[in-house]
């Protein structure tokens, strides 16, 4: 290549080398940079490297000049992401159930390119999350991309919805019937992605686990259900639905022992009003909940420290739920 062209690439090679091999703890020497340039077909003298570093500093790169041992060198100390932020991203990726193990490793590798090779080694760590189950759906990225395209282009989508049998085989729900919905929102809740959409068949707003969707396709028809979606309070919707599947919605009065405040706020959000009981050792909340076995299971996990006070019909359902469990043994 012409000398002038390679000269234009010189600064880019220097920046990339600093990004890859230097950080707050590691300098690279002038000799290191000259050797790196030579390996890429660019000859350089020490003085030109000094000038190039000054040009990069003037442009805004946070490069510190100093000595490491007997060698004089440079290190790039400021980056788009701090090391602590990258570790946080890696932890989030490792802990996410909706990401497969393969995809988690791919993403962590890409996150590592945002820092030096030295720091990237620190990011290759395993995060143990108790009870975590990694997603088996490798196509989740394409699915999310299609959903975002549908929302931005105001189009409906179609898909098949799956469940797993006892042999862990993927089985189509509704005997393979295609779901046609109008997507409106993606929500990350309880370590899973959910799609909030208007179901064309049932003509109402519903939620779907994204990792259980397959054969997702854009339709040519425009989205339906705009009026229905406009009336949905997303915060209330997620409180009622996620992790508490299906069922009718009821306004329920619950009583908890004081030691369960954190668990209640984690479940229903910090905005839920807490009503102090007369003995000051308990508190009540009044909220709308989708009544289901999942809700009863969550409530029963607290034993006698959690109670349903009203309505009586829901309390009776809860008692029957507990009785059925006891009778099954």
Domain contains 133? no
Beta bridge partners of 180: 158
309, 284 in Cβ contact below 8 A? yes
Is residue 157 located within the same domain as residue 227?
yes
Output the domain CATH number for residue 22.
1.10.10.10
Burial track 21-57 (b if 16+ CB lie within 10 A, e otherwise): bbbeeebbbbebbbebbeeeebebeeeebeebbeebe
Model pLDDT, residue 193: 79
Q: 125-131 long-range contacts, Cβ below 8 Å, gap at least 24? A: 125/90, 126/94, 127/90, 127/91, 127/94, 127/95, 129/94, 129/95
Q: Which DSSP string corresponds to 46-103?
A: HHHHHHHHHHHHHHT--EEEEEETTEEEEEE---SS-HHHHHHHHHHHHH-TTS-HHH
Is residue 144 located within the same domain as residue 223?
yes
pLDDT digits (tens, 9 = 90+) for 216-239: 999 999 999 999 999 888 777 776
310, 252 in Cβ contact below 8 A? yes
Output the domain CATH number for residue 206.
2.30.30
Is residue 170 located within the same domain as residue 151?
yes
Model pLDDT, residue 25: 82
Is residue 98 located within the same domain as residue 24?
no
User: What domain range includes position 44?
Assistant: 3-76
Is residue 164 located within the same domain as residue 219?
yes
Is residue 13 located within the same domain as residue 97?
no
Q: Which of 180, 210, 232 is the last residue of a domain?
A: 232
Measured distance CA(225)–CA(204) in Å, rounded: 8
Model pLDDT, residue 166: 59
Output the domain CATH number for residue 315.
3.30.70.240
Domain contains 132? no
Is residue 252 located within the same domain as residue 298?
yes
Is residue 12 located within the same domain as residue 63?
yes
Which regions in the chain score pLDDT beneath 50? 126-132, 244
Edge-to-edge strands, sheet with 306-310: 275-276, 282-290, 249-257, 306-310
204, 228 in Cβ contact below 8 A? yes
Domain contains 110? yes
Model pLDDT, residue 34: 92
Is residue 154 located within the same domain as residue 226?
yes
Is residue 216 located within the same domain as residue 154?
yes
Model pLDDT, residue 126: 47
Q: Which of 58, 91, 123 is the last residue of a domain?
A: 123
pLDDT digits (tens, 9 = 90+) for 76-105: 888 888 887 888 888 778 767 667 777 888
> How many structural domains is the chain composed of?
4
Model pLDDT, residue 247: 67
Q: Which of 172, 206, 232 is the last residue of a domain?
A: 232
Is residue 109 located within the same domain as residue 162?
no
Model pLDDT, residue 128: 42
Is residue 90 located within the same domain as residue 147?
no
Domain contains 130? no
Domain contains 294? yes
């Amino acid at each position: 290549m012409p000398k002038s062209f390679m000269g234009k690439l010189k600064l880019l090679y220097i920046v990339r080398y600093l990004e890859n091999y230097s950080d707050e703890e590691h300098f690279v020497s002038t000799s290191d940079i000259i050797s790196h340039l030579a390996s890429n077909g660019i000859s350089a003298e020490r003085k030109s490297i000094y000038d190039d570093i000054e040009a990069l500093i003037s442009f805004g790169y946070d490069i510190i000049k100093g000595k490491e041992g007997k060698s004089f060198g440079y290190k790039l100390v400021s980056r788009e992401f701090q090391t602590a932020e990258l570790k946080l991203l890696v932890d989030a990726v490792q802990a996410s159930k909706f990401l497969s193990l393969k995809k988690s490793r791919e993403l962590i590798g890409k996150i590592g390119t945002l820092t030096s090779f030295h720091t990237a080694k620190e990011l290759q760590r395993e995060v143990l999350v108790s009870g975590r189950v990694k997603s088996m759906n490798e196509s989740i990225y394409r699915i999310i991309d299609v959903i975002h395209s549908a929302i931005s282009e105001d189009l409906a989508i179609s898909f098949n919805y799956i469940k797993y049998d006892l042999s862990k085989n993927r089985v189509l729900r509704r005997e393979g019937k295609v779901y046609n919905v109008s997507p409106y929102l993606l929500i990350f809740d309880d370590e899973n992605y959910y799609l909030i959409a208007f179901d064309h068949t049932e003509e109402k707003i519903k939620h779907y686990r994204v990792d259980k969707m397959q054969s997702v396709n854009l339709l040519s028809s425009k989205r339906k259900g705009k009026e229905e979606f406009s009336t949905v309070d997303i915060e209330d919707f997620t409180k009622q639905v996620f992790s508490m599947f299906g069922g009718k919605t009821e306004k329920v009065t619950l009583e908890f022992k004081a030691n369960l405040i954190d668990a209640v706020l984690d479940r229903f959000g910090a905005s839920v009003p807490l009503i102090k009981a007369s003995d000051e050792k308990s508190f009540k909340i009044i909220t709308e909940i989708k009544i289901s076995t999942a809700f009863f299971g969550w409530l029963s996990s607290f034993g006698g420290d959690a109670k349903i006070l009203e309505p009586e019909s829901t309390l009776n359902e809860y008692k029957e739920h507990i009785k059925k469990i006891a009778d099954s043994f």
